[in-house]
Amino acid sequence: MSLTEEEQTALVTSDDPHHPANLICELCRNFYTLGWVTGTGGGISIKKEEHIYIAPSGVQKERLEPHNMFILNYPSLEYLRQPTNLKPSACTPLFLAAYDKGAGACIHTHSQWAVLVTLINKGKKSFKIANTEMIKGIPRPSTGKYYGYHDTLEIPIIENTAHEEDLRDSLAKAIKDYPDTSAVLVRRHGVYVWGDTVWKAKTQAECYDYLFQLAVEMTKLGLDPAGPIDPLEE
Ligand SMILES: CSC[C@@H](O)[C@@H](O)C(=O)COP(=O)(O)O
Ligand SMILES: [Zn+2]
């Protein structure tokens, strides 16, 4: 299905700030200030019905403009729009793994908290944290609810590869092995977080980042992020 130039332009042109092409630009500017998408790394993709919006590869993500967006048809994976002289994000196969799981948006951050949490869990296949209020912002699909304050949240960690696209198989395996997860950490690299909608993906990415920072700081203080509540605390 090839679209005319006009039809392609219409897919990235809107006065609605919530249109995916506009939102990707706005959110990347926000994420840049958080240190999530600096130095061209990281990014976000949004799915609107059968259209998946993807940013170009290797560009400053905080300077994106709506007309820079690639558009993929889902599930045919045919490109409907490919801006000239640009390549789609190397994260595309990873974003697609999240869409295959039913996501409406997927965020990839290079947050240093995500990187550090993989380093304090040296040799481990997952990161765990419990008894923390912000866990309640993370959905638990098997229960149809969110995690509870006393639950243990477990996020898989996969090993980094030299090229982003080569992470696809291990990310897909982690999603299969941890059916309740909505995030996958990549050692020495960052994290992928997805949600049913762009807003859920965003708030969940914020909760995860908070929990990663908390876990790093707790570990520095000799506290176990997944440990029980100390009776002397209260
Ligand atoms: C600082 S380069 C980082 C990239 O290799 C990659 O990890 C990344 O997250 C962004 O890939 P990109 O293809 O620019 O969207
Ligand atoms: Zn990356």
**Residue 91 marked in a binding site:** yes
Amino acid making up residue 169: D
Collect contacts of 145-149 with beta carbons under 8 A, ≥24 apart: none
Instruction: Kindly state the tokens that stand for 87.
Output: 């390549």
Residue 28 Cα distances to 107, 125, 173, 224, angstroms: 10, 29, 28, 33
End-to-end CA distance of the chain: 63
List ligand 1's pocket residues with C-beta within 6 A.
39-43, 57-58, 89-91, 108, 164
Catalytic residue among 133, 159, 165, 217: 133
Provide the 8-state DSSP code for 233. G
Residue range 159-188: mean pLDDT, rounded = 96
Number of H helices, E strands in the chain: 6, 11
ipTM, two decimals: 0.96
Question: Any idea of the CA torsion for 7, 13, 17, 23, to the nearest 10 degrees?
Answer: 80
In angstroms, the CA 121 to CA 91 distance is: 24
Distance 36 CA to ligand 2 centre (A): 10
Residue 226 Cα distances to 88, 164, 170, 172, 216, angstroms: 38, 30, 25, 25, 12
Query: Tens of pLDDT along 101-155?
Result: 999 999 999 999 999 999 999 999 999 999 999 999 999 999 999 999 999 999 9
Regarding pTM above 0.95, the answer is yes
pLDDT of 119 reads: 98
- Indicate which ligand has the atom closest to the C-alpha of 88: 1
Query: Tens of pLDDT along 187-232?
Result: 999 999 999 999 999 999 999 999 999 999 999 999 999 999 988 8
Residue 6 Cα distances to 17, 166, 188, angstroms: 21, 35, 43
Distance 217 CA to ligand 2 centre (A): 24
In the chain, at which residue ranges do the beta strands (DSSP E only) sit?
Answer: 43-48, 51-54, 70-73, 79-81, 105-109, 126-130, 139-140, 145-146, 152-158, 183-186, 190-195
- Indicate which ligand has the atom closest to the C-alpha of 61: 1
- 133 is an active site residue: yes
Distance 165 CA to ligand 2 centre (A): 10
